[in-house]
Structure 1
Amino acid sequence: MKYLTFVAGIIGASTAFAETPELTIYTYDSFVSDWGPGPVIEAEFEKTCGCDLKLVGAGDGAALLARIRLEGARSDADIVLGLDTNLTQAALDTGLFVSHSVSADYNLPIPWQDDHFVPYDWGYFAFVHNADLTPPTSFSALADSDLKIVIQDPRSSTPGLGLLMWVKTAHGDAAPQIWEGLSDNILTVTKGWSEAYGLFLEGEADMVLSYTTSPAYHLIAEGDTSKSAAAFEEGHYMQIEVAAKLASSDQPELADAFLEFMVSDAFQSVISTTNWMYPSVTPQNGLPDGFETLIKPEKALIVPSADAPALRDQALAEWLSALSQ
């Protein structure tokens, strides 16, 4: 009798496990790393969702859209987390994403109204360097220097794409000349942010394309004051990162619950010290000490999402032409 009870318990447990719904989110690699927000957010969401949250690293941000396009309605993903406003129009044009009903008191530098994409953090692109380096104060000054930089590929990386948009927005028709000047400063172009930042930390380059918030990681997590971000006089391009639900999701209600969870304090309060960006909704305890030391761009640059695809194509062509010479 005890044996039968034991077997029944095993079968019941297996059935319960099999019935646990799974929510799959495609995101970028650094989000799911041990030091990124993924592990904390997974644990917090699973406390209340009665589900298994599966975070899948799919390369860098821009690679997410390419993967979703390839998989289409057959994708295992319920949500894509890690696109930005340079990619949202292209994502919307696929017809693979559906609208949401999330509302929040966003603390973003620009008004936010989007029926499909929910913002979870934001920041400014910048070149990070060692604090003992006297940095250039513009792209032209960087091009005139002997400094070596590491950047990311705009075809696979959202920071790489952000740099293209930054140069194009700041310099317009003169962007090709800026890239020609920068071509001999570029040590290498990496697929994603993690590879580029790692090369910088290993001393392979003088500067790396990252964010104005990157020095906060070294200051807060490591007690290291040796990293700074260069302030450029033409301004800094802004990134707003977003998530959206796929129309093909087989867990639409769970997906909606996660998008709502993204703007909650449980999610937003961990962004600044795990993803090292500004949260899209101000956490109850505000920003951590150390963020007040970061540079604050005097001019914020951003392209409306509807205009981004055309400008991206033009900027990419100019970039490829300059680097091929």
Structure 2
Amino acid sequence: MFFKNVLLPLGLFALFVVNNANATSEKPTLIVYSYNSFISEWGPGQAIEKGFEAQCDCQLEIVALGDGVAVLNRIRLEGNRTNADVILGLDNNLLDQAKQAGIVIPHQISKPNNLNTDWWDSNFMPYDFGYFAFIYDQQKISNPPRTMHELVDNKANWKIIYQDPRTSTPGLGLLFWIKNIYGDDAASAWQKIANNTVTVTKGWSEAYGLFLKGEADFVLSYSTSPVAHIMNNNDHRYAAAIFDEGHYRQVEVAGITKYSQQPELARSFLRYLLTPEVQRQFAEKNFMYPIINIPLPDAFQQIRPVDKALEFDAKQVEQNQKAWVREWKSTISK
């Protein structure tokens, strides 16, 4: 409605302003804790936020907190003081920690018939998955390692950057990957890796940025990371070193916090994450495999697939993670 040359008494004007402010504030706000790259300019977060707000008659606020491990640490620290309704970006390796902390409620979402993986959980809903891998520049490395043992033994003196397992989900994934392959000899493997490590970063973004600046020959990332370069810049230089021993699988998940004041709205958001249009966002902007079967961008056909998936079950992770982190920390400190 358009008013022209109308003067309202002061009291009526104040009431008009208050009523309009209340109408605006009546929209519920859903707060999502996630990781930095999700809400970055190249990530899927902004499109997902816009799309969900268009259908929910609500406001969606995404709070970036670093990496998946940082999200878990933050929600545990805040406890019942948290404003978060949804946590997005934890993975299968953090589930037992999150469950023991008692921070989520069952999502009550039915398992899709077109699920693209064998992974499902009643408390944490998967939304994409991928495999950890070391990325390199094919213009610099013409004979990449074909096994993890070849990279670790490193006769070529390749320089490596990876992420801290205490603060980063890829870093934690590498910890499990090394343990899965080397078992009781993991400490020896870490010692060899340390001899050629440029730096251990807090999160993925910092590590990958340093790699792109030429600070290292290999960076820990995902087997699908080259898809980002192909789709964004038509750049085919970057590739993942695919190892005969296999690659550790990561399943990214979302959950509803038990402190949420908007559980039904949160549940609607999780259902939205499983829609084909959002799953395409995860493929095209998160550069991960969607959790449901949908057509993939052509760039996925231009990279080498992982032939063998490695994974510990959640109970093995929960029982051994602290000891494995101590082993890593002790070894690289020598």
Instruction: Verify the 8 A CA contact 1:152 1:189 in the aligned structure 2.
Output: yes
Determine which of 57, 66, 82 is the counterpart of 1:59. 66
1:10 Cα offset (Å): 3.4
Determine which of 113, 122, 133 is the counterpart of 1:105. 113
Question: Following the alignment from structure 1 to structure 2, what is the Cα–Cα distance between the partners of residues 94 and 16?
Answer: 37
Instruction: Verify the 8 A CA contact 1:235 1:299 in the aligned structure 2.
Output: yes
Instruction: Verify the 8 A CA contact 1:140 1:181 in the aligned structure 2.
Output: no
1:33 Cα offset (Å): 0.6
> Which letter does structure 2 place at the counterpart of 1:229?
A
1:287 Cα offset (Å): 0.3
Residue aligning to 1:256: 267
Instruction: Verify the 8 A CA contact 2:120 2:126 in the aligned structure 1.
Output: no
Residue aligning to 1:268: 279
Residue aligning to 1:135: 144
1:130 Cα offset (Å): 0.2
Determine which of 171, 179, 183 is the counterpart of 1:172. 183
Determine which of 127, 131, 142 is the counterpart of 1:124. 131
Instruction: Compare CA radii of gyration and give the structure with the larger one.
Output: 2
Confirm whether residue 3 of structure 1 aligns to residue 7 of structure 2.
yes
Instruction: Verify the 8 A CA contact 1:139 1:178 in the aligned structure 2.
Output: no
Question: Following the alignment from structure 2 to structure 1, what is the Cα–Cα distance between the partners of residues 242 and 211?
Answer: 18
1:311 Cα offset (Å): 2.7
Counting only pairs closer than 5 Å after superposition, residues 193-272 of structure 1 correspond to structure 2 as 193-272=204-283
Confirm whether residue 279 of structure 1 aligns to residue 290 of structure 2.
yes
Number of residue pairs the alignment of both structures matches: 322
Confirm whether residue 191 of structure 1 aligns to residue 202 of structure 2.
yes
Question: Following the alignment from structure 1 to structure 2, what is the Cα–Cα distance between the partners of residues 33 and 249?
Answer: 25
Report the CA distance shift for 1:105/1:131 in structure 2 as closer, same or farther (over 3 A): farther
Report the CA distance shift for 1:193/1:252 in structure 2 as closer, same or farther (over 3 A): same
C-alpha RMSD of the superposition? 1.5
* Percent identity of equivalent pairs: 45
> Which letter does structure 2 place at the counterpart of 1:107?
L
Question: Following the alignment from structure 2 to structure 1, what is the Cα–Cα distance between the partners of residues 221 and 58?
Answer: 34
1:237 Cα offset (Å): 0.2
> Which letter does structure 2 place at the counterpart of 1:78?
D
Q: Which runs of 4+ in 1 moved over 4 A?
A: 5-9
Question: Following the alignment from structure 2 to structure 1, what is the Cα–Cα distance between the partners of residues 115 and 24?
Answer: 39
Q: TM-score, normalised on structure 1?
A: 0.95
Instruction: Verify the 8 A CA contact 1:79 1:246 in the aligned structure 2.
Output: yes
Q: TM-score, normalised on structure 2?
A: 0.93
Question: Following the alignment from structure 1 to structure 2, what is the Cα–Cα distance between the partners of residues 309 and 180?
Answer: 24
Instruction: Verify the 8 A CA contact 2:136 2:217 in the aligned structure 1.
Output: yes
Residue aligning to 1:82: 89
2-11 or 145-154, larger mean C-alpha shift: 2-11
Question: Following the alignment from structure 1 to structure 2, what is the Cα–Cα distance between the partners of residues 264 and 95?
Answer: 28
